[in-house]
Amino acid sequence: MTARHSKRRRSVLGPVLRHATLLVLAALTLLPFLWMVSTSLKGPDEILVADIHWWPRNFSAAENYGAAFRMAPLGRYLLNGALVTATILVLQLVVALPAAFALAKSEFRGRKALFAIVLFGLLVPYHVIAVPLFVSLHAVGLLDTYAALVTPFSISVFGIFLMRQFFLSVPSDLVDAARMDGMSEFAIVWRVMAPAALPAISSFAVFSVVAHWNDYFWPLIAVSSDALFTPPLGVVAFRNDDAGTHYGPLMAAATIIVLPLVAAFLLAQRRFIEGIAFTGIK
Amino acid sequence: MSRIEIDGITKSFGRRPVLKGIDLAIAQGEFMALVGPSGCGKSTLLRIIAGLEREEAGSILLAGKAVDHLPARDRDLAMVFQSYALYPHLTVAENIAVPLTMRRLTTAERLPVFGRLSSRSRAVRREIDVEVAQACAMLGIGDLVDRKPGQLSGGQRQRVALGRAMVRAPKAFLMDEPLSNLDAKLRVEMRSEIARLHRRLETTFVYVTHDQAEAMTMADRIAVMMDGQLIQVGSPEEIYADPSDLRVAEFIGSPKINVAGADAARALAARLDDPAMALVPGLRLAFRAEAATLVDPSEGGLVGVVVHLENLGADLHVHLAIEGQAEPIIVRRDPHAPRLRLDERCGIVVPPERLLAFDGAGSRLRAAQIRRAA
């Protein structure tokens, strides 16, 4: 009787502990984010004060969000961000799908060596090659253009790797059937492999869009004209050395910038988790 | 429709040779079965004919022309795969239409929306729809056209795969174990259906299988392959009744052919007209289950003990243990004949003309050869 009792108590205790731990971690992760949203709703007199209160006494949302759009061309930055991330994603897929297909399903001399190079590429963070990239873009006169923001990322070794792993699981008979049906190798990539790989493509899309939408480092180096700024660069416009930083509008701008990502993630959440579970990549 | 000539094909994977010089001519409109145990190279040979695999030496001729330099898509052959290999994201009708759209529409005309703008593209697409509908009707899958492969049963998928192969009237059909993934009952049904399809289309079929029953029931001719070599090519009747090699005799036919080892062979050979036969070293004698009759042990012949009775309804298979031999001898018997009991001793008698003799290496010995050897 007692044994059964304690056993049941333990079986309740386990999940409670697990959930408590997860709740604390989730709260820690969410805290700065909520503080950002909260600050974006407060007036300047409420922001830098000693006591912590989450709910603003006087709502200054209209002022802050209005100022965010007035003080900097935030709309332009958002459009730049969308254009750059979309172009990067399209180029990455155009390169990664055929490359992954060749590495997974074609027989050719040096395939193993080539794949080893791809794996090696995964180990190199792009910050390491930032200076050579900068110098070469300068040499071809592309600095401070959209091309400077896009081209360095058009080949994603991670994308090639992810797609190759997925393509390995596609039966070779399907590829052979497509060959018999009269498809060229490129037609097979786009008409057979790409539709089969949609879960993997969408999870890769999330990784890619998040990484490049949030990227601060490379745009900071590559462009200097205000008109080409991506959202993270735009946020810096609110840090004003002369008049002090305008925290309200800054936080409002930051909120606006993360909003598209949060919305996209919520919409694609199921697909995204499926894709990760499917490819076994965490 | 066309002749297929296979001329001295060799192939190896790494250091392991899989095909050791295969020569075979398949006539126009013929149903040729390539049969053999798994790993004998039959699928590799089929893939070489298809152009999916490259041979190391030798040549493939279609309608008299060498096609060795042509990739699979330019050989105008259709293939049905064991796994069906249907496109999972396309409906049944779209799957069957693929070989036609790939050949009749240009790249621009195949584009999703813009492709439908030109009037030529629309006309071709209408034509394709009609042909796909005809193929579906012929295979009895007309009501499935809008389903995806994931929603179909194995038998239905098999039909779709057949439809995709036949819709463009290729020079020949290549089939790689197309029935292996079906359950036993459906397999028997599809066997006669594919045979009917062959008679109706009058196209050359090359059919790879490890199931000798499929080869026996469907093919005009059977090519038996073992260890990368063609051992015998002939009609099903020929292969069954007159095998040139012990391995062929053992592979073809169910139940498996009985092989009498040295001692038992002597007992059987004693009854042969040809006394020289008993003198051949390593002699083995084989006979089919239906060739033997059971007699009283006192009447002589080979004596065995009944160890198992297998009643199949129409036939009764009697398993008899023979002294000095690991495998039992199987004799077919009319189930209405007097009942046998387990452990009963019986004499096994085989008429001499139905005994097949093989030498120590497994090669068939015919009467003339035996006399020469002795």
Q: Is the domain of B204 the same as that of B348? A: no
Q: Is the domain of B130 the same as that of B36? A: yes
Q: Is the domain of B242 the same as that of B265? A: no
What pLDDT was estimated at residue A60?
80
Q: Are A133 and A91 in contact (CB under 8 A)?
A: no
* pLDDT band of B372, cuts 50, 70, 90: low
Give which of A173, A180, A190, A198 to mutate to test B binding, by max B Cβ within 10 Å: A180
Lowest mean pLDDT among A59-73, A260-274, B324-338: A260-274
Q: What is the CATH number of the domain that holds B115?
A: 3.40.50.300
What pLDDT was estimated at residue B276?
60
The answer to whether B79 contacts chain A (CB < 8 Å) is yes
Domain residues for the domain of B338 are 255-373
Give which of B46, B75, B87, B157 to mutate to test A binding, by max A Cβ within 10 Å: B87
Angle at B230 between CA B226 and CA B231, to 5 degrees: 75
Yes or no, beta carbons of A176 and B72 under 8 Å apart: yes
CA distance A55 to B354: 101
Give tens-digit pLDDT for B326-351.
889 999 999 888 888 999 999 888 88
Lowest mean pLDDT among A12-21, A35-44, B207-216: A35-44
The answer to whether A184 contacts chain B (CB < 8 Å) is yes
Q: Is the domain of B245 the same as that of B306? A: no
Cα diameter, chain B: 89
Q: What is the DSSP string of B144-207?
A: GTTS-GGGS-HHHHHHHHHHHHHTT--SEEEEESTTTTS-HHHHHHHHHHHHHHHHHH--EEEE
CA distance B234 to B222: 5
Q: Residue B117 pLDDT more than 70?
A: yes
User: Which chain A residues touch B135 with a CB distance below 8 Å?
Assistant: none
ipTM: 0.85
Q: Is the domain of B304 the same as that of B185? A: no
* pLDDT band of A280, cuts 50, 70, 90: very low
Yes or no, beta carbons of A181 and B52 under 8 Å apart: no
CB atoms within 10 A of CB B63: 15
Helices A157-168 and A247-279 pack at an angle, to 10 degrees, of 30
Amino acid at A148: A
Q: Is the domain of B245 the same as that of B267? A: no
- How are beta strands B356-358 and B229-234 bridged, if at all? unpaired
Taking alpha carbons only, the member of B186, B352, B192, B197 closest to residue B277 is B352
Q: Is the domain of B49 the same as that of B29? A: yes
Q: Is the domain of B197 the same as that of B345? A: no
Q: Is the domain of B31 the same as that of B136? A: yes
Taking alpha carbons only, the member of B129, B89, B124, B92 closest to residue B106 is B124
Q: Is the domain of B204 the same as that of B287? A: no
Coil, strand, or helix at residue B13? strand
Q: What is the CATH number of the domain that holds B321?
A: 2.40.50.140
User: Which chain A residues touch B88 with a CB distance below 8 Å?
Assistant: 195-196
- How are beta strands B364-365 and B172-176 bridged, if at all? unpaired
Number of domains observed in the structure of chain B: 2
Q: Which of B249, B268, B300 is a domain's end point? A: B249
- Interface A–B counts its CB contacts (< 8 A) at 56
Q: Which of B225, B249, B273 is a domain's end point? A: B249
Q: Is the domain of B162 the same as that of B240? A: yes
Give which of B70, B74, B81, B177 to mutate to test A binding, by max A Cβ within 10 Å: B81
What pLDDT was estimated at residue B51?
94
CB-side exposure of B80: number of CA atoms within 13 Å? 27
Q: Are B277 and B357 in contact (CB under 8 A)?
A: yes
What pLDDT was estimated at residue A276?
57
Task: State mean pLDDT over A53-81.
Answer: 84
Q: Which of B249, B274, B308 is a domain's end point? A: B249
Q: What is the DSSP string of chain A?
A: -HHHHHHHHHHHHHHHHHHHHHHHHHHHHHHHHHHHHHHHTB-HHHHS-SS--SS-SSB-HHHHHHHHHHHS-HHHHHHHHHHHHHHHHHHHHHHHHHHHHHHHH---TTHHHHHHHHHHHHHS-TTTTHHHHHHHHHHTT-TTSHHHHHGGGSS-HHHHHHHHHHHHTS-HHHHHHHHHTT--HHHHIIIIIHHHTHHHHHHHHHHHHHHHHS--HHHHHH--SGGG--HHHHHHTT--TTT---HHHHHHHHHHHHHHHHHHHHHHHHHHHHHHHHHT--
Q: Is the domain of B341 the same as that of B228? A: no
What pLDDT was estimated at residue A267?
80
